[in-house]
Amino acid sequence: MLSISQWWVGLAVELQAALIGAGATAGAAIFGVLAVIAQVRSQGRQSRAAIAETERRKINAALYEDAVLICRGLADASIGLSTKLHIMNMEIEVAARAEAAALAYNLPTARFPMLSALYGEFTDSALRFIFLIENRRVVDPRILIFRTAMSTVLHDSRKLMFSDFVLHVMPALPTDSPDGGIFPYKPPSVEGARAIRAYSDQLIQAVDDTTAYTEDFLTEMQNVLLGDLYGNHLEPRQPLDPARKAVTLDRAQELEAWFTTNTAWGVEAARVEAETRQRFLPRQ
């Protein structure tokens, strides 16, 4: 049986040349086909990556738009409530001073049911903000620090609104009668008006914190969702009062510890957690 080398030597030179040419052509064709396949695969991967990046940017833009809408609603509710409280303080103090001087005065325009409704709108908006945070953790798990910050605001404002604030403010405001008139009204003393302002200012401070926190949140979301698109990085808010905190993602762990140990919400949360753990401990 002839070996391949013997068979090859026995071929005519012209036939050998023809076979070599055919082999080279076939090799070139196969290489070309493989190169095309590799290029198509590479283009496919690049195309899928480009499509994924485009969709990611669309989703990021939509997430930011949702954040803007929720934050704008919360800021509007906060400003509406704090503005009404400022006006109420001025009207009560004017009425109290006029009463002390036996002068005529206009009745305060604020009513406690109106303040309660405004506070209800504020808390609803704050809860929508918290739900937004919980549903957007995939963006960056550290954004839960904003849930903590807003929880402290809700705790403080709720405690003020439904305790001392109610006891001092409700009697100091006129009450509408069922027939459309006003029940007999007597403003508080000047000292009483000052006490109302003190309680009201505490509530205003708690409510105003939400506006600051929404500003912090939108700054962080612009950096996370849109920063790479525009190549810019926004600097965080710098509070003039060192006791007030600017919430940022890079300080999330530090701020979480601060809110937990230095706020009434943190103390209350720790107490509830301890009681819950004690309740479910196995009995000896």
Q: What is the pLDDT of residues 151-161, one digit of tens each?
A: 999 999 998 88
Residue 1 confidence (pLDDT) above 60: no
Which pLDDT score, from 0 to 100, does residue 53 have?
A: 63
Contact 217, 247 (CB under 8 A): yes
Tell whether pTM > 0.85.
no
Cα dihedral 267, 154, 239, 64, rounded to 10, equals 120
| Residue found by looking up tokens 């009062």 in the block | 241
Q: Is residue 48 part of a domain?
A: no
Q: Is residue 116 part of a domain?
A: yes
CA neighbor of 188 nearest in space, from 112, 115, 100, 109: 100
More confident residue, 29 or 262: 262
Contact 126, 150 (CB under 8 A): yes
Cross-strand bridge partners of residue 182: 176
Mapped onto helix, strand or coil, the DSSP state of residue 153 is helix
Q: Is residue 268 part of a domain?
A: yes
Please state the rounded mean pLDDT for residues 223-242: 81
Q: Report the C-alpha gap between 200 and 82 in whole angstroms.
A: 9
Which pLDDT score, from 0 to 100, does residue 251 have?
A: 93
Mapped onto helix, strand or coil, the DSSP state of residue 11 is coil
Please state the rounded mean pLDDT for residues 218-243: 82
If you average pLDDT over every residue of the chain, what do you get?
83
Q: Is residue 68 part of a domain?
A: yes
Which pLDDT score, from 0 to 100, does residue 266 have?
A: 87
Q: Is residue 42 part of a domain?
A: no
Which pLDDT score, from 0 to 100, does residue 65 have?
A: 86
Which pLDDT score, from 0 to 100, does residue 98 have?
A: 93
Q: Is residue 134 part of a domain?
A: yes
Residue 231 confidence (pLDDT) above 80: no
Q: Is residue 208 part of a domain?
A: yes
In which domain, by residue range, is 159 found?
60-272
End-to-end CA distance of the chain: 93
Share above pLDDT 70 across residues of the chain, in percent, rounded to a whole number = 79
Share above pLDDT 90 across residues of the chain, in percent, rounded to a whole number = 41
Please state the rounded mean pLDDT for residues 187-193: 92
Number of domains in the chain: 1
Residue 219 confidence (pLDDT) above 80: yes
Q: What is the pLDDT of residues 20-68, one digit of tens each?
A: 666 667 666 676 666 666 666 666 565 665 565 666 767 677 788 888 9
Q: Is residue 45 part of a domain?
A: no
Q: Report the C-alpha gap between 196 and 219 in whole angstroms.
A: 35
Please state the rounded mean pLDDT for residues 185-199: 91
Please state the rounded mean pLDDT for residues 129-143: 89
Contact 175, 183 (CB under 8 A): yes
Please give the structure tokens belonging to residue 184. Answer: 């007999």
